[in-house]
Structure 1
Amino acid sequence: MPERRAFDLVVIGAGAAGLSVTAVAAQLGVPVALIERGAMGGDCLNFGCVPSKALLAAAHHAAAIRTAPRFGVSAGEPQVDFARALDHVHRAIAEIAPNDSEERFRALGATVIRGEARFTGADTVAVNGETLTARRIVIAAGARAAVPPIPGLAAVPYLTNETLWRNRSRPRHLIVIGGGPIGLEMAFAHRRLGAEVTVLEAAAMLGRDDPELVEGALLALKAEGIVLRDGVTIARVEGREGAIAVVLDGDGGAEERIEGSHLLVATGRRPNLDTLDLDKAGIETTRSGVKVDRGLRSVSNRRVYAIGDIADVEGVGPRQFTHVASHHAGVVIRSALFRLPAKVDYAALPRVTYLDPELAQVGMTEAEARAAGHRDLAILRWPLAENDRAVAEGTTRGLVKVVATRRGRILGAGILAPHAGEMIGMWGLAIAAGMKLSTVAGMIAPYPTLAEAGKRAAGQAFAPRLFAPTTRRIVALLRRFG
């Protein structure tokens, strides 16, 4: 008879979301089991955030050498050793990995089980021939690359964000299918490291972001020499290793061939739910993930929570970011462990696409604000060309754009700038704390910094009133009194 073990909490998946819940539960003395079938640390550590940013770091160094002559520093074309750049990527992963390791979590007091989890009932999970029962079960299974059914794709060697890091030779010409953040970041990194790059997108590039900021980001990518093709229809893929062709449908039935050495498929993510036998636990799903309420509890099995990349909150779809996974973990900890009311709140959710300049967004875009019924909006801008730090560093492409109500309530902000990801946090705090534009405009910003552009953007809300004829008359009147 299979062995049975009882826990207060069973967590399925050792990615960012599952690890966060497990760490807190274990340190609070809660009997918790963590089940992982693959690599500890999940997608973020092994295939996503960490390796991509490490490769981007190498790309930024290459660009710094190329642009050095503008600043009076002699330098030639950088000599890129792609294999050593990949060594840096894997060193970064290895340096962070101990934080997510089995050893660390066992030391915290968690029971770590390596294997494939399957539900066998509303509160039971089977793994490695034993059955675990739990008061609460947290599904944090993450997502994997979604590969579209393009004719011929399965017959050719292609890369995804999961297999890209095994390729130690620089592509001669990288073709990227998918113009979202993953596709464009990897296109950008490979181009700066010396590869030719073509990006193909069926719809619009970076379609979720503010079009005004996206336009600037795409112009910067084109200036790097990246070929961007949106609105395309892929008929089929042909070729062999080192010689790939993507065939596009053209006007009037004509076809166009895009030829390259490597193919990266970056067309989104799909939830890792197909092996969990969710039906045996009565857990409802959508195409995007587990159907949950704002408290991240399954709408059909209240013992179960779903967090991270597979949590479809009230049908709005998952928000597949590591920082969202951490936010979800906090909600589950408050609810499952402390029995406190807790709900997700995406009003101040930031996102960043790491290009150069970076594109960052928090809260609503202008289009989203109008779609939500906000009519009397203040759209405030401050270009980097008017920021002294940007001028000094020669990085004047970009702007800060703020969406607010006429009464000063901040609804969202978008930034196209170097280090926009570092700059956007101020706006996330402002939205979360309910700050008004006057608070941001009145803060003392260090000079000279890029962050000062945010203060200047907020100040644009008050400039018309400050310099209006009525204000001038008041000042003139006050002058009479000495």
Structure 2
Amino acid sequence: MADYDIVIIGGSPAGRYAAAIAAQQNATVALVEREQGAIQNSKFKLQNSKFSDSRTGGFLNPPLPTPDSLSYIGQLARQWEKMGNFGLRSSHENAIDDCQSIQWERVMQWAQNVQSNLAEENSPTVLAALGVDFILGQGKFVAQPNLCFVVNNRCLAARKYLIATNPRPIVPAIEGLAVTGYLTATEVFSSLTSPNPPKRWAILGGDPNGCQLAQALARLGLDVTLIVQRPHILPREDLEIAQLLQAILEAEGVRVLTNTTVTQVKGIEGKKWVQADREAMEFDEIVLCAGQQPELEQLNLEAVGVKTQRDRLRLNQKLQTTNLHIYACGDAIGGYQFAHIANYEARIALHNALQNALFSSHYRVDYRNIPWLVSTDPPLARVGFTVAQARQKYGNDVLVLQHYFKTLAIAQIRDEMTGICQLVVRRNGTILGGAIIGSQAGELINVIALAIAQKLKIDSIADLVSVYPSWGEILAQTASEYLSTPLGQKNWLQNLLAKIGCRV
């Protein structure tokens, strides 16, 4: 007989979120976390008591600040710099150009409080109050005599299991890298609080964290080089979108090296030398931002029939592994590494795992109408198909609509004119996707995501009447590009007649 309806393996935020949701559905739940968990950092520990916070909800260590916190500090530094353009500070007042001029103790306290407050929602204390059996330890699956998960010599039998482990950084096979040492994205903040923070930084990899950190560090007056092996940063994005963001980074002082392979790293007299193609460069610190991969090796998955492919779990659209009793979500899957997508996967997996007891139908994962955001400044947001993906599937039946932020009144007023809105549609007006670089992109993309989810045509976006002045105007202006074409005029007339009840 099963002890639990579901056992969740892994201390990731998605795992804790899943535990809370399952408990609220009156399921019996066990959550197994490794002792170090997502909240403990082996290299940087906040030993100064002034950084401690009692509001950690039972965490083993206070959560470390994320790259998003550092990005916001960079945004504030940029705003201070721009204030001179509006006559709000004297010309002789220097903008922030020295990392050491920042009161990092106060910054760290703020950032840590933010993380603690966010983590409190699904802390061990809260989960225990919901009835979750919180178990600390490293465990593994066993198949005999029956499938169960063994941790601390205890066999946890469940109707279903959910893998929601934390990821680990992808460490490139670069000669000397492990010996010389490196930081991960979450360790950068702690390095900046040291008495003599690094001045020259090499960031290896152009994933979202790499782009965010490169911009934030440059805005703090540091020397930053972003080294990317691929032809452009953010390889999942269309070339034009990625190149615009790269131009923004370069305009702020980030040196971006694309199509560049790092072959060797050496430590010489306290400095870190990076051999990138034919150029040798000296840095104080190296940050890895080449992506993450699931951490699954300790779970004994092969013994229970869970198959992997290229170090990733083989899943169906129900997020079910090749063992039908075991599901997965979030960072354990790999691929999209955004908190809201991980939570979406957790809901899908839970619904399907518990459907015999609590639900009646299966859900299938569908990423087409889920947006995501790269928190640069301005941010990049996208949903659905890229241009390349759309043309690969629909060929010439694809139109690309674009409009620039510089035409908006609000952009002129706020001196935030850099940006573009791009919508990908079929010739019949079906919206396939959208990408936005510009102020408030993270809010604007939600409208496009809703339109895709509700199967609205592009003329519905063109009909939007936004407040003036507002960033929302960019959506209607971009969609109106479709109506200016003969095909768009024809479809617009057909849709109008259909709305008023006329046959077309």
TM-score normalised by length of structure 1: 0.89
Equivalent residue for 2:403, pick from 358, 367, 382: 382
Secondary structure of the structure 1 residue equivalent to 2:309: coil
**Aligned residue number for residue 470 of structure 2:** 449
Q: Cα–Cα, structure 1 residues 12 and 130, in superposed 2: closer, same or farther, change >3 Å?
A: same
8 A Cα contact 2:63 2:116, kept in partner: no
* Alpha-carbon distance in structure 1 between the residues aligned to 2:346 and 2:239: 32
Q: For 1:244-393, what aligned pairs fall within 5 Å after superposition?
A: 244-250=272-278, 256-299=279-322, 301-311=323-333, 318-337=335-354, 338-393=359-414
* Alpha-carbon distance in structure 2 between the residues aligned to 1:425 and 1:276: 37
Deviation at 1:288, TM superposition (A): 4.1
Which amino acid in structure 1 is aligned with residue 87 of structure 2? G
Query: Is 2:30 the partner of 1:12?
Result: no
Equivalent residue for 1:138, pick from 143, 148, 162: 162
Deviation at 1:241, TM superposition (A): 8.1
* Alpha-carbon distance in structure 2 between the residues aligned to 1:149 and 1:467: 51
8 A Cα contact 2:65 2:112, kept in partner: no
Gaps in structure 1 of 5+ consecutive residues: 251-255, 312-316, 472-482
**Aligned residue number for residue 90 of structure 1:** 112
8 A Cα contact 1:41 1:101, kept in partner: no
Deviation at 1:350, TM superposition (A): 1.6
Equivalent residue for 2:88, pick from 67, 73, 76: 73
Choose 80-89 or 336-345, whichever is displaced more: 80-89
Deviations 1:317-349 (A, max 9, x none): 632221111111121232122142110001112
Deviation at 1:380, TM superposition (A): 0.8
**Aligned residue number for residue 205 of structure 1:** 233
Query: Is 2:77 the partner of 1:56?
Result: no
Which amino acid in structure 2 is aligned with residue 95 of structure 1? N
* Alpha-carbon distance in structure 1 between the residues aligned to 2:378 and 2:486: 33
* Alpha-carbon distance in structure 1 between the residues aligned to 2:14 and 2:312: 15
Which amino acid in structure 2 is aligned with residue 85 of structure 1? V
**Aligned residue number for residue 478 of structure 1:** none
8 A Cα contact 2:401 2:423, kept in partner: yes
Deviation at 1:228, TM superposition (A): 0.5
Which amino acid in structure 1 is aligned with residue 308 of structure 2? T
Secondary structure of the structure 2 residue equivalent to 1:238: strand
Q: Cα–Cα, structure 1 residues 333 and 466, in superposed 2: closer, same or farther, change >3 Å?
A: closer
Secondary structure of the structure 1 residue equivalent to 2:88: coil
Q: Cα–Cα, structure 1 residues 454 and 89, in superposed 2: closer, same or farther, change >3 Å?
A: same
* Alpha-carbon distance in structure 1 between the residues aligned to 2:360 and 2:253: 54
Equivalent residue for 1:223, pick from 251, 254, 257: 251
Which amino acid in structure 1 is aligned with residue 344 of structure 2? H
* Alpha-carbon distance in structure 1 between the residues aligned to 2:39 and 2:361: 28
Deviation at 1:207, TM superposition (A): 1.3
Which amino acid in structure 2 is aligned with residue 283 of structure 1? V
* Alpha-carbon distance in structure 1 between the residues aligned to 2:373 and 2:62: 17
8 A Cα contact 1:353 1:359, kept in partner: yes
* Alpha-carbon distance in structure 2 between the residues aligned to 1:464 and 1:179: 37
8 A Cα contact 1:47 1:161, kept in partner: no
Equivalent residue for 1:25, pick from 22, 25, 34: 22
* Alpha-carbon distance in structure 1 between the residues aligned to 2:277 and 2:63: 32
Choose 345-354 or 76-85, whichever is displaced more: 76-85
Deviations 1:201-238 (A, max 9, x none): 11121111121121211111011111000111212001
Which amino acid in structure 2 is aligned with residue 24 of structure 1? I
Which amino acid in structure 1 is aligned with residue 76 of structure 2? H
**Aligned residue number for residue 475 of structure 1:** none
Which amino acid in structure 2 is aligned with residue 329 of structure 1? A
Secondary structure of the structure 1 residue equivalent to 2:319: coil
Q: Cα–Cα, structure 1 residues 162 and 34, in superposed 2: closer, same or farther, change >3 Å?
A: same
8 A Cα contact 1:242 1:262, kept in partner: no
**Aligned residue number for residue 149 of structure 1:** 173
* Alpha-carbon distance in structure 1 between the residues aligned to 2:62 and 2:12: 11
* Alpha-carbon distance in structure 1 between the residues aligned to 2:38 and 2:277: 40
Choose 447-456 or 458-467, whichever is displaced more: 458-467
RMSD (Å), alpha carbons: 2.5
* Alpha-carbon distance in structure 2 between the residues aligned to 1:318 and 1:249: 28
Deviations 1:107-153 (A, max 9, x none): 01110101112111262001111111111000111311111110011
* Alpha-carbon distance in structure 2 between the residues aligned to 1:47 and 1:459: 49
* Alpha-carbon distance in structure 2 between the residues aligned to 1:60 and 1:85: 14
8 A Cα contact 1:173 1:261, kept in partner: yes
Equivalent residue for 1:172, pick from 161, 181, 199: 199
* Alpha-carbon distance in structure 1 between the residues aligned to 2:63 and 2:409: 34
Deviation at 1:42, TM superposition (A): 6.2
**Aligned residue number for residue 126 of structure 1:** 150
Aligned residues: 456
Secondary structure of the structure 2 residue equivalent to 1:372: helix
* Alpha-carbon distance in structure 2 between the residues aligned to 1:202 and 1:225: 20
Identity %: 31
Deviations 1:446-476 (A, max 9, x none): 21111210111111111245998xx9xxxxx
**Aligned residue number for residue 436 of structure 1:** 457
Q: Cα–Cα, structure 1 residues 364 and 99, in superposed 2: closer, same or farther, change >3 Å?
A: same
* Alpha-carbon distance in structure 1 between the residues aligned to 2:147 and 2:461: 49
Equivalent residue for 1:195, pick from 216, 219, 222: 222
Secondary structure of the structure 2 residue equivalent to 1:275: helix
Which amino acid in structure 2 is aligned with residue 222 of structure 1? E
Deviations 1:285-313 (A, max 9, x none): 122421110001112x10110111222xx
* Alpha-carbon distance in structure 1 between the residues aligned to 2:266 and 2:417: 42
Which amino acid in structure 2 is aligned with residue 259 of structure 1? E
8 A Cα contact 2:2 2:159, kept in partner: no
Deviation at 1:54, TM superposition (A): 1.2
8 A Cα contact 2:17 2:122, kept in partner: no
Gaps in structure 2 of 5+ consecutive residues: 41-58, 493-504
